[in-house]
A and B are shown apart, each in its own frame.
Chain A
């Protein structure tokens, strides 16, 4: 490339990336691919979704000095291309250039964990069949050598027909060689550097034969390259003897779950209180400086309060994802899935459903996204379906308000447990029971299938890298705020408009006369059997945006400002207008009903249509309605 071309190229970088080579990073989960990606791109990366699906697309710039050498795309970690998961489908589509807005990669960097080289070469073979210029990265070189393993890279390179290099993702050693490979590609104008054996042969064979063929190639490669596998890791062996121990294993598992819970409900609280205070005071401040117009009401009471109700959950989500990140990167999550599998299997789910269900206690939206690692479609569907039954944190403000108003603060079961805490625990249990029952029924009716194959690789234990954890949190936070924020934003505007019309001479109508109040009256006959009046009706409608919105709505309706769950006045107002059985019914309703548009929208995207999303919504609504009806009649 001549100097003039180079400067021209630089000018285009910011505008379009058409002329910048696109390099894909592919590899198995836990191969250190993402750590390498982060090392190569630093913070110059963007996260977006692939069109139409919620699989995240991580693209970053690889720079050498101030020149952009290439765009790098970090593909999801996969084991092969049988396309059982969304991740596998996307990876294959990207590598074959079938994704809108992303050109076909000019080369693929295949990252492997060299300590498990033989097993990972199966994936390498599959990637090579796509006939892209490729570089094989043997990552975790220090670990392989430290445990007495070795491989002749020259021989391996010759055998596979592609370049092979060593790296150490943790220290960054060897990343220079990747950059060098990519810049060389650029200078050569992408002349394919590998002559792959006929790529089509393996595809045409029946499944077993095509894999046997690949395995043969792998066997030859490791023997030609004199691969000496490393001694088993003593640390991993010792940890597994504890973590997978008959007695200690489940105990450690429960300790981890309790610890994660404890932290999202205690450590997050001061942060959440802080954010709440910030939103409240800034709201007051805004209403003081803004002129008294409808715009102020929309901004302060509508958008600010509505979006604020979501931002409050950010600390909880981030803490949850910090733990999930540590558990995943360290290798414990795979063990947890193995331990949970037996119980999950009995109710019609599987071990990999453990992560989504655990995440569901913070928020169903990221939880449903994490169900993506479940290969079996029916298992994944069932997991997505029952995840919203887990008591997410948006239910808590509602529970806290109603429990404080209706359940006496008296001991229960001796001094051990307070009645209020007892009811809270029961509500959590109710959610779990509904999830178990639903999964059980689904897997015997609509999602009936042969048991799926559960196969979980247990990677060696490793120390998570701070950089990777940090970047992951950044991603998660952004996605949560954008995805949930957008929906809440839209819904709060609609709700606000409904409270403003029809206008009277004095301005906005009384809430009972507003469009929203009229809707409340319209649905009153439907909820009367549950002991709810139009006020609760409005609360139920507004809580469609997000469950906790009902707290603010009821506060507004009962004519109080800045109602929060501690407010004594709202509590006494509730006690006057809602009977005890109806309050219990309302709790049950919230335990079951899917009052969360963000979740519905996520399910729609993840399942590829309205079918499951609407079925889930109405199923949970029906369960909530009849649950409340029963509660109202027996209490």
Chain B
């Protein structure tokens, strides 16, 4: 992962997965983690361009998301490192 991954802080596009509301589908832009920590995510389909939709949260408030038809639980800290962008055409759920 090169320098293109670094997202300018405080920019308006700097939306993180951890901030996304339930049932709002977003697109993954980049993963702000070193390769060693990002690889498990890549392996499970968390790749730039993929669609992620938070479907519920765990009792401790960690996100559970739908990705390619699978449900994955992450930690807030990890979700904080996933830069996403909102999709314009929201599917009415």
Contact = CB atoms under 8 A, between A and B. Distances in A.
Interface string B56-77: 1111101010111111111101
Given A208-B35, A342-B62, A454-B74, A122 B1 contact: no
Contacts of A118: 45, 68-70
B62 A341 contact: yes
A24 to B, nearest CB: 20
B41 A215 contact: no
A262 interface: no
Given A455-B72, A456-B73, A458-B71, A342 B40 contact: no
B43 A122 contact: yes
A418 B67 CA distance: 52
B87 interface: no
A244 B64 contact: yes
Interface residues of B, number: 36
B78 to A, nearest CB: 6
Contact of B45 (A119, A207, A208, A375): A119
A312 to B, nearest CB: 38
Contacts, number: 120
Contacts of B6: none
A133 interface: no
A247 B78 CA distance: 24
Interface centre among A116, A244, A249 (most CB of B within 10 A): A244
B58 to A, nearest CB: 5
A212 interface: yes
A315 to B, nearest CB: 34
A504 interface: no
A458 B64 contact: yes
A249 B69 contact: no
A115 B68 CA distance: 10
Contacts of B45: 118-119, 122, 215
Nearest to B69: A229
Interface residues of A, number: 44
Given A119-B44, A339-B58, A455 B69 contact: no
B14 interface: no
B70 A119 contact: yes
Nearest to B34: A450
Contact of A342 (B33, B60, B71): B60
Given A244-B56, A453-B33, A453-B37, A212 B48 contact: yes
A241 interface: yes
Nearest to A120: B70
Contact of A117 (B62, B66, B69): B69
A256 to B, nearest CB: 14
A82 B69 CA distance: 22
Contact of A116 (B41, B43, B60, B69): B69
A248 to B, nearest CB: 9
Nearest to A113: B70
17 contacts: A116-B68, A118-B70, A119-B67, A119-B68, A119-B69, A120-B70, A122-B45, A207-B1, A208-B42, A211-B39, A215-B47, A232-B66, A338-B73, A341-B58, A341-B75, A345-B75, A451-B77
Interface of A: 79-80, 82, 84, 115-120, 122, 206-208, 211-212, 215, 229-230, 232, 240-241, 244-247, 249-250, 334, 338-339, 341-342, 345, 375, 450-458
Pairs A-B, 5 closest by C-beta atoms: A342-B60, A211-B42, A80-B43, A118-B68, A119-B70
